Structure 1
Amino acid sequence: MTDPGILQIGALVAAALLVGVSKMAVSGVGAISVALFAAVLPAKQSTGALLPLLLVGDVLAVSAYRRHADWPALLRLLPSVAAGVLLGAVFVARVDDAVMRRTIGVLLLTIVAHYLWQRRRTRTASGGSDTTGAPKGRTDTECGTASPGAPTARTQHGRALAFGLVAGFATMVANAGGPAMSLYLLSAGFTMLGFLGTAAWFFLIVNLVKLPFSVGLGLIDRNALVLDALLVLAVPVGAFLGRAAVNRIDQALFERLVLVFTTLSSVNLLR
């Protein structure tokens, strides 16, 4: 790993701040952290260096939102996520940085396009009355549950299989599972705190599972840990800022921010 310059260090500090913000408030900005790390470091090295910072953010998020998780939703996701992580580990071992980065960019843009198409079809079916895209029913203060208008159990299981596989693959390849998970939770009708609590536990579990794979593939080494030691304090600062902002963001704006940041970061990965 080459020594980054001042501008590159600034970008990495910003990325670490955004890790904290993404874990506490707007999940979509986490994709920007992935893009910034990949812009400064080689793609594979960036994946290893970012993972320990994500784990710090996961611990902070779980401590804040642990009561809001929807465990049935998590249990539906985990089997397909595990399969995705295994596929991702094989993929990382076989491809170069450019292929890995572009594959993730295409994958994320496909997910965004699918979500937007799904939302448009839902609005058309309801006569266009739902103009915000915000889930109806339960309030944001209720614990980890989807709103009453959420998809049926059969549909949820199908989505869990597809999105779990994509999220597991993307998170192993480039720490980019956040957008897939975010879009799954949005499409399932989760309110804001249910979204954040379920995502917090999901990524703590998944990132811990990824850790031995990342070490075994050589993605996490001594240089990466030294860099993380310089950046780690930025994560709780970002978490504090995100926690302060989360109560000021309404559900419709929350969804739009997730989609916008996911799209921008995905386009950047195609370079």
Structure 2
Amino acid sequence: MLHLTPEGWAIAAIAAFLIGLSKGGLAMVAVLSVPILSLVMSPVQAAGLLLPIYIASDVGGLLIYRRQVDLGVLRSALPGAVAGIGVGWATASLVPTWGVTLIVGVIGLVFALNALRRRGLPPVRTISPVRGNIWGSLAGYTSFVSHSGAPPWQVYAQPLRLPSLVFAGTTTWFFAVVNWIKLIPYAALGQLSPGNLTAAAILTPLALLAVWIGQRLVRIIPDLIFYKLITWGLLLVSLRLIWQALS
């Protein structure tokens, strides 16, 4: 059994809840899960604990968005994502814990600053296997390292201007496939330990509840206000992780 303080369990519960919300349609929220949980354990252990929760939540998300998916977008990005996962697996033993912490913090910080700086919508683009595989590979790598593949994925997918439900569904399908593939290297690297799996099983019902809540919130909370709050939260947590890594 994973030994966590009451504060640690509370933080783990928040991380699981955020994962569920993301699978309910609030895709950006999951970026916070590993940074938050990394405050009470190493990012590597946090990533291992959260992967089974991601996969269980994927099932709930796929049930909701089973028909809202653009297969052309998936085909243009998934080969690169698989390659990115492979690079993450091949280099896992070369990156120290503080390095992973720094990577997680910098990814979150850059994305948050860019989101706060941006005004309006990006220009409309069409599906491109070149762009899709470039950003897909970055999404696969960062997803492998810290489950934070949403920023590069959104750099590619948002300018496609898919209908909102199709965007949410395509994002859910993309990361469901990525997470299932990640099971193989995570198991090989010993990150799916009995302690992590037990903790994940305890937290999964909360994540599944959050999937349902997430798809309800999509309908009632203005996107601009919600994502401003999430972006500022990501900025603060990322700064804390960068300080922790450099200390």
TM-score, reference length from structure 2? 0.87
What is the match of residue 66 of structure 2?
66
CA distance in 2, matches of 1:269, 1:190: 34
| Structure-2 residue corresponding to 1:45 | 45
1:212 matched to 2:184? The reply is: yes
1:100 aligns with 2:74: no
Q: Is the counterpart of residue 177 in structure 1 residue 149 in structure 2?
A: yes
Change (3 A) 1:77 1:268: farther
State the aligned residue count: 243
Deviation at residue 258 of structure 1 after TM alignment: 6.3
1:164, 1:101 → 2: CA distance?
22
1:229 aligns with 2:196: no
Query: How big is the shift at 1:227?
Result: 0.9
2:2 and 2:199 in contact (8 A); partners too: no
Structure 1 residue runs without a partner (length 5+): 121-132, 136-148
Amino acid in the other structure paired with 1:51: L
C-alpha deviation, 1:170, in angstroms: 0.4
Q: What is the CA distance between 1:261 and its match in structure 2?
A: 5.1
Whether 1:247 aligns to 2:219 is yes
Contact residue 20 and residue 242 of structure 1 kept, 8 A: yes
- Call closer, same or farther: CA 1:54–1:61 in 2, change over 3 Å: same
Once the two structures are superposed, the pairs formed by residues 259-270 of structure 1 within 5 Å of their partners are 259-260=231-232, 262-270=234-242
- Is this contact kept in 1: 2:52–2:200, CA < 8 A? yes
Q: Superposed, which structure 2 residues align to 1:1-271 within 5 Å?
A: 3-111=3-111, 133-134=120-121, 150-153=124-127, 156-250=128-222, 252-253=224-225, 256=228, 259-260=231-232, 262-270=234-242, 271=244
Give CA-to-partner distance per residue, 1:27-72, whole Å, 9 cap, x none.
Answer: 2211111112211222211111100000011111111012111110
Sequence identity of aligned pairs in percent?
A: 29
Change (3 A) 1:260 1:73: farther
Do 1:134 and 1:252's aligned partners in 2 also have CA atoms closer than 8 Å? no
- CA shift, 1:257, in A, is 5.7
**Normalization by structure 1: what TM-score?**
0.80
Structure 1 residue 161 displacement after superposition = 2.6
Q: CA deviation at 1:241?
A: 1.4
RMSD over equivalenced CA pairs, Å: 2.4
Higher Cα radius of gyration: 1
Question: What is the CA deviation profile of residues 113-134 of structure 1, one whole-angstrom value per residue up to 9, with x for unaligned ones?
Answer: 56777x56xxxxxxxxxxxx35
User: Aligned partners of 1:70, 1:83: CA distance in 2, in Å?
Assistant: 21
